[in-house]
Amino acid sequence: MTSTPENDGPTDPSYAVFLAGGAAFVAFLFVVLIGGVVMAVSLSDDTNSQTIASDPQTAASDAEVGQDVDTSGLGKDIYVASCAACHGANGEGVVGPTFKEVTTRIPDVALHVLVVTEGRGAMPSFKATLTPEEIDAVVAYEREVLN
C-alpha cells in the first residue's frame, strides 16, 4: 500500500515525530504547572511566618508614613480591588500571606510600604498603578483593620 494523503497516519514516520513532540509539549506544560503551584504554596508558607527585618536606611515610624489616612474608605477600596484576590477578603491569606499579626512580622511601616511599592517574591509592584497616597492608605488598612 502506498502512502497517500488519505491514509497518512500511524504508519507514517512523520506522524510518530508529531506524536513524540506533542507528548513532550504536554510533559513540559505539566512540569511548569506543577512547578508554579509548588512555588506559590512555598512562597505563601514562607511569607506567612517570616518576619521582615528593618533596614535602618528606610526605617520610619507609623507616625511618619501613612499618618492621617482614612483606613475605612480609600484603603479598603484599594485593598478589595488590588489585594483581596491574593490575601483574602479579610486578610486571612490565600496565595499571599495573611495580614493577621502583620505588625509583628513587618514592624516597620516604611518597609511594609516598600513591599507594596516594589513587590516581593511573587507579589507584583504597585508603584505604576497606585499613587504613594493610595499605597499609604492600603498599608494603613492592612495594619490597622486587618491586623
Query: Could you tell me the residue ranges of all domains in the chain?
Result: 50-144
For 130, half-sphere exposure in the C-beta direction (CA atoms, 13 angstrom radius) is: 25
Rounded Cα gap, residues 107 and 68, in angstroms: 19
> Is the confidence at residue 114, as pLDDT, over 50?
yes
The residue that leads in pLDDT, 41 or 83, is 83
* pTM metric for this prediction: 0.55
> Is the confidence at residue 36, as pLDDT, over 70?
no
H helix intervals, the chain: 13-49, 74-82, 84-87, 102-105, 109-118, 132-144
**Whats the size of the chain, residue-wise?**
147
Q: pLDDT digits over 50-98, tens only?
A: 444 444 344 344 434 444 545 469 999 999 999 999 999 999 999 999 9
- The CATH number corresponding to 50-144 among 3.40.1010.10, 3.30.930.10, 1.10.760.10, 2.40.110.10 equals 1.10.760.10
Closest CA to 134 of 80, 86, 97, 94: 80
What is the average per-residue pLDDT within 106-131?
A: 96
